A = this chain, B = another copy of it.
Amino acid sequence: MSRTEVTQETLVSLAKRRGFVFQASELYGGIAGFWDYGPYGVELMNNLKASWWQFFVREQPDVVGVDGAIIQSPKLWKASGHIDGFNDPLVEDLVTRKRYRADHLAGADTNDIDKLSGLLKDKKSPDGNPLGPVRTFNMMFKTFVGALEDEDSVAYLRPETAGAIFANYKNVLDTARVKVPFGIGQIGKAFRKEISPRDFIFRVRELEQLEIEYFTQPEQAAETLERFKKLYDEWFAQLGLDQNKLSWRQLSEDERAHYSVENWDIEYKYFGEKPKELGGIANRTDYDLSHHAEASGRDLRYFDAEKGEHFLPYVIEPTLGAGRLLLAVMDSAFAEEEVNGETRIVLKFKPEIAPVKVAILPLSKKLELSSVSRKLYTDLVQRAGYNIEYDETQSIGKRYRRQDEIGTPYCVTVDFETLNDGCVTVRERDSMKQERVKMKELASKLIF
């Protein structure tokens, strides 16, 4: 459903100009890798998150939700392997002191220090200077809990949301009406010290994840992975993601984590360029639960009453980056069209996820019109429970263009005729067709 190929540059500019995404702390020169969502970005993001939660948590009878803290005990990250192993290979320009990801400079998809050192042996930095040795550095943000900044008070911002799910696996089993197989879903922020954040909101230091850990009998793990691939396909279609730009790619053994036995990336062709990771589904085996059982000294096995045996469930992990999803949704929705010799930009969002569902546009600021329009706004926003915009300035043509650019499916104009016939004009975004509708019937027409 992609109507027009958009460049990253055009989309970044639209996102800023129309209040979707701003650089964090832009007022102070910014801070690399961090972004703020503006009025339309936060509505779009909230709609995407609510849709995910409804589809993957509420509508799946065997999935429940949790919301864990960003700061957890460091013991959790020791057990999960993040303190020792969540590293990136880093190399330094010996003249400028700029740091680079060694794997990026080497053009190789590996974290193996020896391999990277070999590949970079005679290479220069992008500025043409000699490079230092390849080193690893831990990607977790470190902080201190308590008054003193010493080793005893070190803690980390979670590098992924999954940790709090594994740590609560037993709690959820004990309190919710679930039994294995079942899943726990979570939406939340995670933090990674990307050494070179880039590509707008694609590679960032503060990210948001939409993630499920699904606990299952080992022999049903492969089937569960298939189930979630299908659910993803269905949900992406619902969101209006361009089906031609989505593709599944199975990761090779080299690309997978050592404990993972099957791993698929769902890739999206952003900006018509080569496909990049939007999310993935991994079969993590019993790696996580066995490590947490060992480190905590707690028995995390599940008792299968029918078979009369204890076992450690396998975990299937479907995960998505919220920012990457939002970017794919914007890329898919973007269209540039000729209308009466002029170009209009329009974001053809599905109404369900559009940041503004309806714009109420009185044709004049005169009190007679604005009082009718205000009432219409209040009635509709209270009954429909969605976001509506009220805008009474500028020419109607400019206001239509503006609503097209933020992807509002319906514009409702209130004119002086409205005072006589009780009708308003409803303009549909994509067809631009206008229709005269009785105000009384507006709700039944526009509430979805």
Is A19's CB under 8 angstroms from B175's CB? yes
A212 to chain B, nearest CB (A): 13
Stretch at the interface among A56-64, A254-262, A313-321: A56-64
Which of B24, B53, B99 interacts with A69 by CB under 8 Å?
B24
A contacts with B, residue count (CB < 8 A): 94
Is A377's CB under 8 angstroms from B61's CB? yes
Which of B37, B67, B388 interacts with A58 by CB under 8 Å?
B388
Report if A68 contacts B (CB, 8 A).
yes
Is A164's CB under 8 angstroms from B36's CB? yes
Q: What is the oligomeric copy number?
A: 2
Report if A390 contacts B (CB, 8 A).
yes
Which of B69, B177, B389 interacts with A36 by CB under 8 Å?
B69
Q: A16-B175, A177-B391 are in contact. List 12 more A-B contacts (CB 8 A).
A: A22-B171, A28-B296, A29-B75, A34-B71, A36-B167, A40-B176, A59-B382, A71-B191, A142-B144, A145-B205, A147-B193, A177-B393
Is B66's CB under 8 angstroms from A193's CB? no
Is A90's CB under 8 angstroms from B36's CB? no
Stretch at the interface among A41-49, A104-112, A272-280, A423-431: A41-49
Is B206's CB under 8 angstroms from A69's CB? yes
Report if A225 contacts B (CB, 8 A).
no
- Interfacial chain B residues near A70, Cβ < 8 Å: 70, 189, 206
A195 to chain B, nearest CB (A): 6
A312 to chain B, nearest CB (A): 15
Report if A397 contacts B (CB, 8 A).
no
Report if A264 contacts B (CB, 8 A).
no
Which of B29, B41, B46, B195 interacts with A53 by CB under 8 Å?
B46
- Residues 102-142 of A, flagged 1 when their CB comes within 8 A of B and 0 if not, give 00000000000000000000000000000000000100011
Given A73-B28, A381-B59, also A38-B171 (CB < 8 A): yes
Which of B17, B40, B146, B193 interacts with A145 by CB under 8 Å?
B193
Is B67's CB under 8 angstroms from A34's CB? no
In angstroms, Cα B174 to Cα A16, docked, is: 10
Report if A31 contacts B (CB, 8 A).
yes
A327 to chain B, nearest CB (A): 15
In angstroms, Cα B76 to Cα A356, docked, is: 30
Report if A310 contacts B (CB, 8 A).
no
A82 to chain B, nearest CB (A): 14
Report if A342 contacts B (CB, 8 A).
no
- Interfacial chain B residues near A67, Cβ < 8 Å: 36-37, 41-42, 45
Is B177's CB under 8 angstroms from A146's CB? no
Q: Which residue of B lies closest to A155 (CB)?
A: B31
Is A147's CB under 8 angstroms from B38's CB? no
- Interfacial chain B residues near A171, Cβ < 8 Å: 19, 22, 26, 38
Given A142-B144, A172-B38, also A167-B53 (CB < 8 A): no
Is B34's CB under 8 angstroms from A72's CB? yes
Is B147's CB under 8 angstroms from A195's CB? yes
Is B24's CB under 8 angstroms from A175's CB? no
By Cβ-Cβ distance, the 9 closest A-B pairs, closest first, are A19-B175, A25-B73, A39-B64, A28-B75, A34-B69, A24-B69, A37-B67, A36-B68, A42-B67
